[in-house]
Structure 1
């Protein structure tokens, strides 16, 4: 069984303290690819260096909405140029976060639109962060897609069914994290049940949101296998089947990553 953790943060302190152990445990459960996600463009060199040092690790480039006020606004052209790095397979994570609301909305919207344009320019998928911003997120995605298409996925999906349906109508993918395993998330599991198998992805968002039975601990890529098991139950398929499906989906949308060995 080969798995892809489509979203983790290997540059965060919680995981750098034992990176060799984290990578070894991921390998032991079949995690064949990890995408370490950039949250501040100014720190992209450190993120890219991790990807360069480990064959199984790839990366993205982008500004998280909660860091939009912390660094200068990068143009779409600048972001796309950085994405030419050989191991960079995605743009982002970028998006809207009205839960913490750390960035002015006008700034947050501009930064998101710049990343959408960077996704178009680079041909790489946009990794979208959306929290408590369903209506605005759906509206921006639909407006931008009407101008010109782009590839994208909603990562760590915890939003409502309407955003999922509107995103799927645009051809986007939806990625589920350990939150889908929480006892408090029956509505999210109902939404996951409606997502077509050819649009579903799995992730950890490590070091955050460890799935059951690791909840409360530091999350790590190996735990994507626990999310997979719960999501397989929700979808009515075996873990082995869902592993094959989600891995194929990951390689399809993140098509700059090389194919896996048999």
Structure 2
């Protein structure tokens, strides 16, 4: 059994055929999913899905691109939900995004730090969104002692050396998805081949970043086995071993029994 550890089934792209998407996931042995909410509408929808389906869990937080819109009341609401809702398994996605310029860096940093502190209060791991901000992300996580709850660098695109730092010093996992299957994605492939398998979890980030040979199409959880197969090939092991270990990792990370 596989688990898709980071998926946006709350995205409007699934409004018309969600049941069929879930059916295809099950047909491909993807039988648990963590839906990510990153603002009020997506958080509310993630929780609706978690309540509707036994096999869906929710992560809730505030995306760095929208940090400028995040208020203390929003974060208090997130904290209340994380405390009261038993299907909430992580805080996030949060972090830093220097690619888009909607939210100034100082605002992103403030909201990021507040969510790390929130995660420590509710004793849940953190899902990190990092785009063109690796150094600052790692620095702030260390300054805020994020190792106390751990987390995952979602859609990891940094080096093996950075992966080793976050694993050893921050108690983090590495989230690998569609990009590891892209032909010229040398860095993700190197990470997938060299870091401990016990620190890798699989994700789609669907509807985004569909793996080869579906690149450019709408992504969905049923494509998780394509990611696993690529990692198995890169490591020279059976795909069943990738399936077993990464699912154990995800259950341990999210504290899913």
TM-superposed CA distance for 1:86, in Å, is: 1.8
What does 1:1-262 correspond to in 2, within 5 Å?
Answer: 2-41=1-40, 43-74=42-73, 78-83=77-82, 84-145=84-145, 149-169=148-168, 170-255=170-255, 257-258=256-257
In the superposition, relative to structure 1, how do residues 216 and 85 fare at CA in structure 2: closer, same or farther (>3 Å)? Answer: same
Asked whether the equivalents of residues 178 and 209 of structure 1 are also in contact (C-alpha less than 8 Å), the reply is yes
TM-superposed CA distance for 1:76, in Å, is: 5.7
- Segments ≥4 residues shifted beyond 3 Å: 73-78
TM-superposed CA distance for 1:179, in Å, is: 0.5
Of 196-205 and 82-91, more deviation after overlay is shown by 82-91
Of 245-254 and 122-131, more deviation after overlay is shown by 122-131
- Report the secondary structure of 1:59's partner residue: strand
Asked whether the equivalents of residues 37 and 45 of structure 2 are also in contact (C-alpha less than 8 Å), the reply is no
Q: Which runs of 5+ in 2 are unaligned?
A: none
Query: Counterparts of 1:251 and 1:212 in 2: how far apart (Å)?
Result: 26
TM-superposed CA distance for 1:42, in Å, is: 5.2
How many residue pairs align between the two structures?
255
Query: Counterparts of 1:174 and 1:230 in 2: how far apart (Å)?
Result: 16
- Report the secondary structure of 1:37's partner residue: strand
In the superposition, relative to structure 1, how do residues 70 and 77 fare at CA in structure 2: closer, same or farther (>3 Å)? Answer: closer
CA RMSD of aligned residues (A): 1.6
TM-score, reference length from structure 1: 0.92
Asked whether the equivalents of residues 36 and 43 of structure 2 are also in contact (C-alpha less than 8 Å), the reply is no
